[in-house]
A = this chain, B = another copy of it.
Amino acid sequence: MKRVAAALASLALIGSSAQAEDATSMSTSKSILTRAAVQTVAPALDKYTDDRLLGEVWKRPGLSARDRSIVTVAALIARNQTIEMPYYFGLALDSGVKPSEISEIITHLAFYSGWANAMSAIAVARDVFAERKIGAEQLPAATGPLLPLDETAEADRAARVGQQFGAAFPGIVQYTTDVLFRDLWLRPALAPRDRSLVTVSALIASGQVAQMSYHLNRAMDNGLTQAQAAEVITHLAFYVGWPNAVSALPVAKEIFEKRRH
Residues of A within 8 A of B (CB): 13-14, 16, 23-24, 26-28, 30-34, 37-49, 52-53, 60, 62, 75-76, 79-81, 83-84, 102-104, 106-107, 109-120, 122-123, 125-126, 129-130, 136, 139-143, 164-165, 168-172, 175-176, 179-180, 187, 189, 202-203, 206-208, 210-211, 226, 230-231, 233-234, 237-247, 249, 252-253, 256
Least Cβ–Cβ distance between A202 and chain B, in angstroms: 8
Q: Is the interface of A mostly helix, strand, loop or mixed?
A: helix
Q: Which of B52, B76, B122, B252 contacts A168 (CB 8 A)?
A: B252
Q: Which of B49, B129, B172, B246 contacts A233 (CB 8 A)?
A: B172
Is the Cβ of B165 less than 8 Å from the Cβ of A249? yes
Inter-chain CA distance A124–B123, complex, in Å, is 18
Inter-chain CA distance A241–B207, complex, in Å, is 13
Is the Cβ of A237 less than 8 Å from the Cβ of B175? yes
Is the Cβ of A115 less than 8 Å from the Cβ of B239? yes
Q: A52-B179, A210-B247 are in contact. Are A241 and B114 (CB under 8 A)?
A: yes
Is the Cβ of A83 less than 8 Å from the Cβ of B119? yes
Is the Cβ of A33 less than 8 Å from the Cβ of B169? no
